[in-house]
Amino acid sequence: MQHTGHFDTLLRDTVNLPQGRLDQLSGRVDAIYGALRADTTLGDLVTGKTRQGSWAHRTIIKPPQDKEYDADVLVHFSENQDWARTKAEYINELYRALGRSGYEDRHRKTRCVRVQYANDCHIDLVPYVTTSSGAKHIVNRSTGEWEDTNPDGFTTWMNARDEIAGGNFRKVVRLMKFLRDHKNSFTGTRSIILTTLLGERVSSFAPVFEPGAYGNVPKTLVRVVEDLDSWLQGQWSKPSVSDPSSPGTSFDHRWSDESFRYFKDRIHAHAAEMREAFDETDQSRSVEKWQALFGDGFKAASAQSSASKGPFVVAGVGASRMGASTGRSGRAG
């Protein structure tokens, strides 16, 4: 059974990062940006900021207890010709400017400067440089060279996947990230790879040949995960995963042969577990099977929650142990 209301509750109460924390994140980024713009050394080069990654894609989730979430932000820079031979200076100078503004808990990474907020989150600030020719690049501090990126293109690609899936694709990504982060499944697979592989399974032909294929969250979840499982079973070694918005850019360095094999095995198990829960005709047993995947947060909305949302709001979601069945049948429909 589908239990669409239970999925609504799961996402709202257990998976999604609460709006208050998103507002806090926005305030922190605004404060950082204001400090950079006011810096007497760097400020004239800083021209803007753009959300990136899961924050921009609206797939950010609540972290496990005692863990932190992360957010990525592009900090737009004008090119400084003095750094033409030492492009790592964009990261180094960003690091120094943050120090001058009182951000002491900060760390230089390969492509960003990380600002740490104790026991809550970290924000990765990525210099995004527009050169005199109009080209846009990020910097690799290790190599001292430019790297191509197309953040707007990836967001556009995400929007297209979500539109095809009736607004359900982003929710599927959040649910799968929840399994990874809260249920310790397919650890080692980075979010960009998970999101790309799931998104590549969303087909514009599916709703044509199978009306309602992406009709709600559980239908979309089962359909996309089964399609991903079918694709993975045909991969005998770690496949190349390209940025769909920049085909010349590969994400291959972001996972290992070992993490690929584990991911392949866990997706195979989850596809079977989801199908079994979806096809179960007994309501209580179906809820139990979904809860075996997502936990006891998978539940009907409380009367108080339903009343506050109005008469059309349905139930919930949760968190629990993972099964390991491998059988499988038909499609969500």
Q: Are 48 and 106 in contact (CB under 8 A)?
A: no
Same domain, 159 and 293: yes
Range of the domain at 260: 4-15+153-309
pLDDT at site 6: 98
Residues 164 and 301 in one domain: yes
The answer on 302 and 180 residing in a single domain is yes
In the numeric block, which tokens belong to residue 59? 């797939």
Specify whether 95 is located in the same domain as 137. Answer: yes
pTM over cut 0.85 = yes
Radius of gyration of the chain (CA): 22
Question: Do 96 and 170 belong together in one domain?
Answer: no
**Domain shared by 172 and 141, yes or no:** no
Examine the domain organization and report whether 127 and 75 are in the same domain: yes
CA distance linking residue 126 with residue 157, whole number of Å: 21
Amino acid at 254: R
Q: Where are the alpha helices (DSSP H) in the chain?
A: 4-9, 19-38, 53-57, 89-100, 151-164, 169-182, 191-199, 206-209, 217-233, 257-279, 283-294, 303-309
Is 333 part of any domain?
no
Identify whether residues 223 and 95 lie together within a single domain: no
Residues 41 and 169 in one domain: no
Co-location of 97 and 158 in the same domain:
no
133 in a structural domain = yes
Q: Which residues contact 185 (CB under 8 A, 6 or more apart)?
A: 179, 266, 270, 322
| Whether residue 192 is found in the same domain as residue 264 | yes
Calpha distance 80→139 (Å, rounded): 13
Residue 280 tokens, joined: 């179960």
Predicted pLDDT at 246: 81
Clarify whether residues 60 and 199 are in a common domain: no
Q: Is 315 part of a structural domain of the chain?
A: no
Number of other CB atoms surrounding residue 101 within 10 Å: 17
Q: How far apart are CA 174 and CA 187, in angstroms?
A: 15
CATH, residue 162: 1.10.1410
The label of the residue with tokens 């090119």 reads 79
Residue 305: predicted pLDDT = 54
C-alpha closest to that of 182 among 299, 4, 44, 10: 10
Q: Specify the pLDDT at position 250.
A: 87
Q: Provide the sign of the torsion angle of the four alpha carbons 271, 188, 178, 205, taken in this order.
A: negative
Total number of domains constituting the chain: 2
In this structure, are residues 290 and 154 in contact, taking their beta carbons and an 8 Å threshold?
A: no
Q: Is residue 318 part of a domain?
A: no
Type of residue found at 77: F
Report yes or no on 320 lying in a domain. no
Looking up residue 139, the CATH number of its domain turns out to be: 3.30.460.90
pLDDT means per 10 residues in the chain (333 residues)? Answer: 97 97 97 98 97 95 92 97 96 98 97 94 97 93 91 93 98 98 95 97 95 97 98 96 86 93 98 98 98 96 56 33 37 40
Is 332 inside a domain boundary?
Answer: no
